[in-house]
Amino acid sequence: SIDISKLRSATGLITMDPGYKNTGACESKITFLDGEEGKLMYRGYPIEQLAEKSSFVEVMYLLIKGELPTQSELDKFITDINEYNYVSEDLIKILDAFPSSAHPMGVLTSLTAALSAFNPKVVDVTSPDDMYRAAVTLLGKFPVLASWTQRKIKGLPVNYSNDKLSYVENFYQLLFKKPGQELDLDPVIIDAIDKLLILHADHEQNCSTSSVRLVGSSHAGLFASISGGISALWGPLHGGANQAVLEMLEAIKNDGGDVEKYLAKAKDKNDPFRLMGFGHRVYKNFDPRAKIIKVAADNVLEKLGINDPILDIAKKLEKAALEDEYFKSRNLYPNVDFYSGIIYKALDIPTEMFTVMFAVGRLPGWIAQWMEMRETNQPIGRPRQLYTGAPLRDYVEIEKR
Ligand code: ACO
């Protein structure tokens, strides 16, 4: 038999970095983040300025094109997106086939992958014009698909886009408009959603974005690559954390509201429980997005006159964790997902939809990263491994095992 150490050495020199904690996979001009200082910039613009002064549609343009648009460039971008803000009626048959208990993220990733079949011309594109066309096609169709996932769990008929509305207003009416109803578009609500989408729009090489790049590095098309990113986002350690935060807060409330008990559980190394919405792979300081969202959450709740016991628990938990030695010594601060769920809940968005909202925000970032990856001719992604399995052995017939 062959010695396993020989099998290992046959691999040559390998950098082991499970979870890619310190491995750079690409150069990028899109997003800068400084985890120590808690700073985030899209194309050089601080996230604080974009959240205050820009709009989600303008940020989409910035991420994808690299510069802020002039008014006429922005108008053309919106017209281009609106050209594609419908989805083939045949896709409704796929939607209908899902049970109403299906998780919206499962439905969204499937419908996005199905777009490849319905739009074969944008599947394998390489020229800048074709890539742009693929991008605006997806930006147009994605809010429609995302809204369908909510309509499905609520048992409501699907809605269609309204070109007269802004991107975010249209998304809102796609989600909420009931048949025969005139929907009130409250500027406070639209502004809060716009901000949330801006803050989620890109975050350099996180798990879902790296997935989009890895899938796309095989030259799979944009829609298939994004579908991979949606699946990666779904998990509770990534985008699924916003749903997990709300579920955790509800559980604490139903258990008598004792935040100290849950803090102790999170610190107990024999208990798998973690405080959802706390900690971040890169931020070892306050997540700058969390700071902005915390203020937005306070505004929305005050303006909508919402007094929610869940919010009191969130505030108590935040205070207790920030004062706790375990959390302080490990630099575990509330992240963006800790507060976003609170706003979504106030806006009457079902808990299972929270990660879909994140996906709508992250879409322009995924697209920009996918385009940059193709434009810079990134090689196919293919990590190595260190084999630790059985050494070479002979096959044993089934009756002799
Ligand atoms: N609650 C309790 N302890 C925690 C938490 C938490 N939320 N997060 C990290 N820790 C502890 C770990 O147990 C570990 O302790 P140790 O040094 O004693 O072993 C230490 O802090 C470092 O944690 P790691 O797991 O090594 O950090 P990593 O960078 O791998 O994980 C992650 C980051 C996944 C975000 C983690 O903090 C976590 O699970 N948080 C909760 C889920 C969450 O909120 N995810 C959203 C992330 S933001 C986003 O995707 C938009």
Interval between CA 284 and ligand 1 midpoint (Å):
11
Predicted confidence at residue 6, as pLDDT, reads 61
- H-helix segments, 217-353: 222-234, 241-254, 259-267, 288-303, 309-322, 325-329, 336-346
Query: Is pLDDT at 7 greater than 60 in this prediction?
Result: no
Is residue 214 a contact partner of residue 379, using CB atoms and an 8 Å limit? no
Query: Is pLDDT at 44 greater than 90 in this prediction?
Result: yes
Q: To the nearest 10°, the Cα dihedral for 56, 74, 65, 216?
A: 60
Predicted confidence at residue 184, as pLDDT, reads 86
Looking at this predicted complex, what is its ipTM? 0.95
Which of 199, 246, 284, 330 to probe ligand 1 with, by most ligand atoms within 8 A of CB?
330
Lining ligand 1 with CB less than 6 A are 237-239, 241, 266, 274-281, 330, 332, 335-337
Interval between CA 288 and ligand 1 midpoint (Å):
17
Which of 204, 280, 287 to probe ligand 1 with, by most ligand atoms within 8 A of CB?
280
Average pLDDT of the residues in 97-125: 89
Average pLDDT of the residues in 135-157: 96
Please give the model's pTM, rounded to 2 decimal places: 0.90
- What pLDDT, in 10s, does the model give residues 331-387? 999 888 888 888 898 888 999 999 999 999 999 999 999 999 999 999 999 999 998
Which of 200, 249, 281, 336 to probe ligand 1 with, by most ligand atoms within 8 A of CB?
281
Is residue 278 a contact partner of residue 237, using CB atoms and an 8 Å limit? no
Interval between CA 400 and ligand 1 midpoint (Å):
47
From 200, 280, 287, 324, active-site residue: 280
- What pLDDT, in 10s, does the model give residues 315-345? 899 999 999 999 999 999 988 888 888 889 8
Interval between CA 278 and ligand 1 midpoint (Å):
7
Is residue 77 a contact partner of residue 136, using CB atoms and an 8 Å limit? yes
